[in-house]
Amino acid sequence: MHRIALWAALLSLAACQAGVPLTLMPTETTPVLPPTADVQSSIWLEQLFSSGRLAVYFYSADDIPCVRFLVDLPAVQPVSACATPQAAAVVAQGVVRDAEGQPYTIIAVRAVQPEVSVVVIELRNGESYPLEIEEGGALLILPEIVQAWQAVPIDSYGDTVGTLLRLSP
């Protein structure tokens, strides 16, 4: 079973309803490539998310490792990101609002290099969340709108792996 990062228990409090749009927060440094017919895709995690389900997929597009998450509620679009050449991890972030307007920030992480054991997500408000990598990924769900500006892949010795991932809104 995957251990979900801080605040995951708050998912059960969400009351997402059909027709609530997803607000995307794309990253400037990670290109987004749509999956193609020859893409190998696997579900890393699938769990309940309020009245729907949340699925996190790992896939490759043109041999580039990518991560995507999708909440199966009407009008919600998938959020994807693909790794840059020197990246040790890739991060996809987005916001889903429930019927009452309550926002939930979802941040999905895929470790690209096997030595990555933790990815620290740094938010623009100064908070940081060290996410333990399990089976190649991690998930953070927060009951508010926040923006991650940087992700730091770290190995089991506490050293940075690859490049820092600069994320933009």
- Please determine, for residue 23, whether its predicted confidence score (pLDDT) is greater than 50: no
Q: Do 121 and 98 meet the contact criterion of CB atoms below 8 Å apart?
A: no
pLDDT at 94 over 50: yes
Residue 18 has pLDDT above 50, yes or no: no
CA angle at 17 for the pair 79 and 12, rounded to the nearest 5°: 85
**Residues in CB range of 101: below 8 A, 6 or more apart:** none
> Could you tell me if residue 1 is inside a domain?
no
The answer to whether residue 101 sits within a structural domain is yes
Residue 3 domain flag: no
How many folded domains does the chain comprise?
1
| 17 part of a folded domain | yes
Whether pTM > 0.85 for this model: the answer is: no
Overall average pLDDT of the 17-41 stretch = 42
Q: What is the mean pLDDT of the segment spanning 78-86? A: 93
- Tell whether 2 is covered by a domain: no
pLDDT-derived band at 70 (thresholds 50, 70, 90) equals very high
- What is the residue range of 73's domain? 8-166
